Amino acid sequence: MVVVVVVMGVSGSGKTTVGSRLAAKLGWKFYDADDYHSPENKKKMSEGIPLTDEDRIPWLCELHDILRREDSCRQDVVLACSALKKMYRRVLASGASAIESNQPEQSGENAALKILFAHLDGPRDIIAGRLEKRKGHFLPPELLKSQFDTLEPPSAPENFITVSLEKSLPEIVLEIENVIFQGEALPD
């Protein structure tokens, strides 16, 4: 079974750091969703303008296509992606078809990808402090409020775990790894 893990959370929660470390430790492919934002999206965010659903959907569809390709090649993969809304997570799993229907599951060739969402969660003040120290990123700290306003934390029946970002990096990676290999939260 191919394993797809999306390390998700608001900007500054540590998605890229955790995702890249997890992928390196497991010998899996790693993608950072920020690398796939359009120049227009990056410009908008750098100007302090939050992205809309219309801005995000083409980006999420491209990420779905990448995950689908890796799945068809039988390649385990980790993606660092904010995936803030339930609808965004459905698009990552099912592509554009998830926008029209609220049904993530389809049958046959277009079946939804089986994804484990690892939600990095923690206090806003810790995340704000991280953003203040971060240099060279297109998303300014001022957009953190809009990220929290947009966030719909994963909930049942979504396939997810929530990990405290207050833990050390090795502890966070190990917690996600344990879920993967113990199969506790992996889809059937």
Q: What pLDDT score was predicted for residue 101?
A: 60
Fold of 4-168: Rossmann fold (3.40.50)
Q: What pLDDT score was predicted for residue 182?
A: 85
Q: What pLDDT score was predicted for residue 107?
A: 44
Q: What pLDDT score was predicted for residue 79?
A: 98
Q: What pLDDT score was predicted for residue 108?
A: 46
Tokens 């502890």 correspond to what residue? 171
Per residue in 54-96, pLDDT (tens digit) is 999 999 999 999 999 999 999 999 999 999 999 999 999 999 8
**Rounded distance between C-alpha atoms, residue 41 and residue 43, angstroms:** 5
Pairwise pLDDT comparison (17 vs 138), residue with the higher score: 17
In this model, does residue 187 exceed pLDDT 70? no
Q: How far is CA 24 from CA 19, 30, 134, 168, in A?
A: 9, 8, 22, 17
Q: What pLDDT score was predicted for residue 135?
A: 62
> What's this model's pTM, rounded to 2 decimal places?
0.88
Q: Where are the domains of the chain?
A: 4-168
In this model, does residue 43 exceed pLDDT 70? yes
Per residue in 109-155, pLDDT (tens digit) is 567 899 999 999 999 888 888 777 766 555 555 677 888 889 999 99
The stretch 153-174 carries a mean pLDDT of 95
